[in-house]
Structure 1
Amino acid sequence: MKLLFVFYIPSGGMETLNRQRVIALKKIGISCSLLYLHEGTGMQNLDGVPVYVTKDEKEITEIVNRERFEAVIISTVAELILPLRSSGYTGKIIYEAQGLGSVEEAVFILKRIAPLLLLHADAVLYPRTPHLMRIFETYYARMKKFSFHNCIDMESFRFESYPVAPVPIIGWVGRIEPNKNWRSLLEVGRLFRTRGRRVEIRMYVDNTLGSEEEEFRKLVADYRLWSCLTVVPNLPHQEMARQYSIIGDSGGVLLSTSRVEGFGYAVLEAMCCRCPVVSTDSDGVRSFIADRVTGRFYPHDDHEEAFRQISELMDNVPLREEIRFRACRHAAEQFSPGLYAAQFSHMLGMLGIGLMKQHV
């Protein structure tokens, strides 16, 4: 069986998801290829995975029909559905909702494309993110809907022991753009500096899609943070396991400041590597974080509360260690590649593709 996954660009959480599920599905006999409309920094992580890069509709339809994919899973790029059907493609088309931005943007996009999907797609797929579940139940009552968690392979992405850093590290992962809310990180960093608590701030950025770099650099200078802040661009994905492990053992945390996350892979990856997380309630991360159990929540833009929670995790070692252990166990139990493959194969079977049965 052959499947094709389509997205705009190999970057961020979608690049991680595609790479993870290609491996998971291969183990149950499903061959997967990827198609991106544009090059991106995530190409460095895709060794051994069949990848096409083109935005030419004619070329895309030729690839799909030539390779005879049983199903095409189109993430977000809904405008490709009609050209595929018009080209004579008769396989299944599954529209996947990932990376749609804010709740308002997700509502706008999914309402706008509903007529197209109802006519030309066979099903919709989305993670168990509360706002996405509400939108699909409201506007897609007549479509086949499938919803299950994304996955992560903790055999290859896990905690590793390294020498302990001299000061606690506050890590941050994302792009320099509004939804990731990088300004909140700098506000929290300023509180640590002005109150004399020594920390190192490490920002792991994907600069493929950043849009506010000039403003960012000015604010870092205004807050006098350059002496304790390091920007690390476009690291290979496997290197992030080392970074999260170092942050966790330093006594620090991953700080997630996002407005909205459809899933939030950085949070899950940190948990896999025993790095405690302090996060806004950005919706998608509710699948990972139970407050004071597997992580900590703080209200959006309440920088004093973020400072307090990070400081508590730095100072309260028993609480910190308990959260690290529970978070890592939760990630292993709920987001395994085997569980994802079983749920995905069940979806295919329900759509009549390969008549596969769920094997959980």
Structure 2
Amino acid sequence: MKVLVIWRLLTVGGVNAGWRNRAIYFKQQGIFPEFLYTTDHGGRHIMDGVAPVYLTKDENKIVSIIRNGHYDAIIVVDTADAYRWLEKAEFSGPVIVEARTPEINKLIPHIKDFRSIRPATIVVPSLYQKRLVSILTENIPIEVIHNGIDTSFFRPIGGTDIDHNTPPNVAGDKKVIGWIGRIDRRKNWKLLLRIADLIKKERNDIQFWVIGGAQSVQREKFAAQRIEKHLEDMVRWFPVIPYQEMPYMYAKIRETGGCTLATTRGESFGNTFIEAMACGVPVVAPKVTSLPELVVHRKTGRLFREGHTHEAIKHIYQIIDMGQVKYEKMSHAAISQVRERFAMECIAPRYIELLRTLVGEVKHP
């Protein structure tokens, strides 16, 4: 089976990370994905060696790709223009829509008008996202299929397998708090800097690693405020870390007895949470949108009330100060949860079954 995944943005974020993991597993099962993007935001390397990638804004080229690709099914991820392209290409196979944007006002344009295309189903990555999509659509089935993760890739790494000669390196005996993702309004980097600023007044044994954001829209504002608040030493920024290096980043965080911190205003899923937990790193995150579906409070991490800065700091302290025995217990609970609930071999078969059923219905009505 051959499928085309259409999404506007070629990023290193959760959508593409999820599809990278799926593509590897799908190919092992005889399903061969290809990817069509219109804009590159530094994510090209994430698909290297995984699947063919088309990158173009030329509508004629896009229509030609769809028409000549002989795809058994097409998956459209939050791309309203795709329905016009499918019409022009006269694509007659099943179309699956993935609704991934967690903000209702930004999601509406992508699922309010399918033109003449009748989606076979809408796939969402969380129960939260299903509730959101059900407000905006009717008479189209909605399937919850979590993002899966390759637990042979994202795994606990320790001892001599960690390369301490490759940056970033841990400074002294500091505990490392990782913050991973784009630097924009939704990820709420301003709350991160407020938390760091308050912690700096209380302790000198904590360092933050901000990973990502090289092409983010608010990177210059972030850089300026980091300097303005005199946080350059405490909040280290690594704008570009290859996706393939992330297990080693998590390993260094875990080795210090640290955690990852999220300050996001909302997520439809949240790949970085399950990546961190798969590597044995507890997560501190706001109790919003889909996050309570991923992080089990007090077991695999801690959840704080949205906007409660001091509560977030309290939870960070509780994790990094809990002692090695309790930390290892939380770390192993996080690893087990991901392997049981989010491992690709647990998640992907549902998507494969959906694809085979829909393609079979078209070929053998």
**Aligned residues of 1:81 and 1:120 also touching (Cα < 8 A):** no
Task: Map 1:1-360; keep pairs closer than 5 Å.
Answer: 1-11=1-11, 12-48=13-49, 49-98=51-100, 100-106=101-107, 108-109=108-109, 113-116=111-114, 119-130=117-128, 132-161=129-158, 162=162, 165=170, 166-208=173-215, 210-317=216-323, 318-353=325-360
**Aligned residues of 1:127 and 1:148 also touching (Cα < 8 A):** yes
Deviation at 1:354, TM superposition (A): 7.5
| Residues 70-122 of structure 1: CA deviation (Å, up to 9, x unaligned) | 11101001221122123211111111111x1434433x446xx3342685322
**Aligned residues of 2:130 and 2:142 also touching (Cα < 8 A):** no
**Which segments of 5 or more consecutive residues in structure 1 lack a partner in the other structure?**
none
Cα distance in 2 for partners of 1:153, 1:217 equals: 33
**Which segments of 5 or more consecutive residues in structure 2 lack a partner in the other structure?**
none
Deviation at 1:232, TM superposition (A): 0.5
Cα distance in 1 for partners of 2:327, 2:220 equals: 36
Deviation at 1:9, TM superposition (A): 2.0
Cα distance in 2 for partners of 1:157, 1:184 equals: 28
Q: What amino acid is aligned across from residue 127 of structure 1 in structure 2?
A: P
Cα distance in 1 for partners of 2:21, 2:199 equals: 36
**Aligned residues of 1:348 and 1:355 also touching (Cα < 8 A):** no
Cα distance in 2 for partners of 1:129, 1:105 equals: 18
Cα distance in 2 for partners of 1:354, 1:121 equals: 14
SS at match of 1:74: strand
* Distance change in 2, residues 1:118/1:301 (3 Å): farther
Taking every aligned residue pair, what percent have the same amino acid on both sides?
27
* Distance change in 2, residues 1:40/1:213 (3 Å): closer
Task: State how many pairs are aligned.
Answer: 350
**Aligned residues of 1:81 and 1:121 also touching (Cα < 8 A):** no
| Residues 22-56 of structure 1: CA deviation (Å, up to 9, x unaligned) | 01111111111111112232211222221111122
TM-score, normalising length: structure 1: 0.91
SS at match of 2:157: coil
List, as ranges, runs of 4+ consecutive aligned residues in structure 1 with deviation greater than 6 Å. Answer: none
Q: What amino acid is aligned across from residue 137 of structure 1 in structure 2?
A: S
Cα distance in 1 for partners of 2:47, 2:69 equals: 20
SS at match of 1:259: coil
| Residues 243-287 of structure 1: CA deviation (Å, up to 9, x unaligned) | 011101202110011000111111111001111110012322222
Q: What amino acid is aligned across from residue 149 of structure 2 in structure 1?
A: I
Q: What amino acid is aligned across from residue 28 of structure 2 in structure 1?
A: K
Cα distance in 1 for partners of 2:47, 2:283 equals: 27
| Residues 295-339 of structure 1: CA deviation (Å, up to 9, x unaligned) | 100112211111111111111124322221111111111112222
* Distance change in 2, residues 1:303/1:197 (3 Å): farther
SS at match of 1:325: helix
Cα distance in 1 for partners of 2:273, 2:250 equals: 10
Cα distance in 1 for partners of 2:127, 2:348 equals: 19
**Aligned residues of 1:4 and 1:71 also touching (Cα < 8 A):** yes
Deviation at 1:158, TM superposition (A): 1.3
Cα distance in 1 for partners of 2:201, 2:342 equals: 39
Deviation at 1:193, TM superposition (A): 0.9
Cα distance in 1 for partners of 2:335, 2:213 equals: 25
Structure 1 residues 139-148 or 15-24, which shifts more? 139-148
SS at match of 1:227: coil
| Residues 146-176 of structure 1: CA deviation (Å, up to 9, x unaligned) | 2211100011221211369421001101112
**Aligned residues of 1:272 and 1:332 also touching (Cα < 8 A):** yes
Cα distance in 1 for partners of 2:124, 2:35 equals: 18
